[in-house]
């Protein structure tokens, strides 16, 4: 039985990923910052899923997450880097903390968590890492310079790491969803959603 760690599990995409692995009888650890939703997961899955509160903006909490998950099921075989946030603003108005928060959660935490868990995967010569990006990385949505930069970097990180560890039995892939009706989408201005939607449609139809 493989062991799975899912970040951002209290969000819409994270919840769906959790259900998929749960229905396939994997050993699962999930993490998030919303304690109410983590408690709901504990109740709904009746002790079959280990919930670990973790602020991925904090290096010490990332280390604690790895330690607690290892205590629960041993080493992580499958890592799903799903956690992500938005702090939208035009570049000239964007505050340093808006940039830093998004880069830290969406990108830096992936690097730090992956680096720690990858050691065990290489040692066992088997592992699966799945990073969640976004179609926004390909479009360049106005007002989302921080978010787009983080997701674009994730795609580059995925390609590079995949080349580094393929010979060790570890695969690294990236999933890039379009708009999904989740809590994070509610943080985006409705006018921007409409504008982005037109861009996605044009792109799919081969127009610039």
Measured in degrees and rounded to the nearest 5, phi and psi for residue 92 equal -70, -20
Q: What is the DSSP string of 108-142?
A: IHHHHHHHHHHHHHHHHT-EEEEEE--THHHHT-T
Residues 6 or more apart whose CB falls under 8 angstroms from that of 102 comprise: 85, 86, 87, 146, 147, 150
Active site residue 73: no
Other Cβ atoms closer than 10 A to 23: 8
Identify the active-site residue in 26, 73, 147, 196: 147
Antiparallel, parallel or unpaired: β 27-32 and 78-81: unpaired
Gyration radius from the chain CA atoms: 17
Q: Which residues are catalytic?
A: 147
């Amino acid at each position: 039985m493989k062991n799975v760690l899912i970040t951002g599990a209290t969000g819409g995409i994270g919840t769906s990923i959790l259900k998929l692995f749960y229905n396939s009888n994997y050993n699962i650890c999930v993490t998030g910052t919303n304690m109410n939703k983590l408690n709901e997961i504990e109740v709904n899955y009746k002790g079959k899923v280990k919930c670990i509160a973790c602020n991925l903006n904090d290096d010490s909490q990332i280390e604690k997450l790895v330690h607690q998950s290892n205590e629960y099921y041993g080493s992580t075989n499958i890592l799903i880097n799903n956690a992500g946030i938005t702090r939208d603003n035009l570049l000239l108005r964007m505050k340093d903390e808006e940039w830093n928060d998004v880069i830290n959660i969406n990108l830096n935490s992936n690097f730090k968590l992956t680096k720690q868990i990858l050691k065990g995967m290489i040692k066992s010569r088997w592992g699966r890492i799945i990073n969640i990006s976004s179609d926004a990385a390909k479009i360049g949505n106005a007002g989302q310079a921080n978010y787009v930069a983080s997701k674009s970097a994730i795609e580059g990180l995925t390609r590079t790491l995949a080349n580094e560890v393929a010979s060790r039995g570890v695969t690294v892939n990236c999933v890039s969803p379009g708009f999904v009706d989740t809590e994070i989408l509610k943080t985006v201005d409705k006018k921007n959603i409409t504008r982005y939607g037109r861009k996605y449609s044009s792109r799919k139809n081969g127009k610039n």
